[in-house]
Homo-oligomer: A and B are copies of this chain.
């Protein structure tokens, strides 16, 4: 392979990785101590989609092993942000429900993150971000397909 091509793709994925790391760090700086991006993301997911899902369904939505999701959900349950109940339709499995505290956690997190988004938007135009999202979604889909 052409070395310039290889360098290009490496640079691309390198920039992606750095942005992911920086944005994650910036977000977690706004969360209460001990809570991480996955904690916030799961709560957000339960609000955006719906709660009452099984741990495995949530793990699949985030493309993480189910053991990882067990750990994340335990952290949320210990903080009282979700309640884990048996699944009446399947004795093997469980369902995950938001609590009021969980919704409050999400509201407060968003409120404290908003200024960072504003700061970012002031320096990088929203329209350019809007234009990038579909490209990134395409790239994600290609990588996803290549996973087999």
Tell me if A124 and B140 are in contact (CB < 8 A): no
**From DSSP, what is the main secondary structure of chain A's interface residues?**
helix
Q: Does A89 lie at the interface of the complex (its beta carbon under 8 Å from any beta carbon of B)?
A: no
The distance in angstroms between the C-alpha atoms of A32 and B132, with both chains bound, is: 34
Q: Does A116 lie at the interface of the complex (its beta carbon under 8 Å from any beta carbon of B)?
A: yes
Also in contact, A19 and B146, with CB within 8 A (given A5-B126, A8-B129, A130-B8): no
Which of the residues B110, B118, B146 comes within 8 Å of A116, measured between beta carbons?
A: B146
Chain B contacts for A129, CB-based, 8 A: 8-9, 12
A contacts with B, residue count (CB < 8 A): 55
The distance in angstroms between the C-alpha atoms of A19 and B19, with both chains bound, is: 11
Tell me if A136 and B19 are in contact (CB < 8 A): yes
Tell me if A9 and B136 are in contact (CB < 8 A): no
Tell me if B143 and A120 are in contact (CB < 8 A): yes
Known: A16-B23, A120-B143, A132-B135. 17 other contacts (CB 8 A): A1-B117, A1-B118, A6-B110, A6-B114, A8-B129, A8-B130, A13-B19, A13-B23, A15-B133, A16-B20, A17-B20, A19-B143, A23-B143, A25-B147, A119-B146, A123-B142, A132-B132
Q: What residues make up the interface of A, taking CB atoms closer than 8 Å to B?
A: 1, 5-6, 8-27, 37, 41, 44, 63, 110, 114, 116-121, 123-124, 126, 128-130, 132-133, 135-140, 142-147
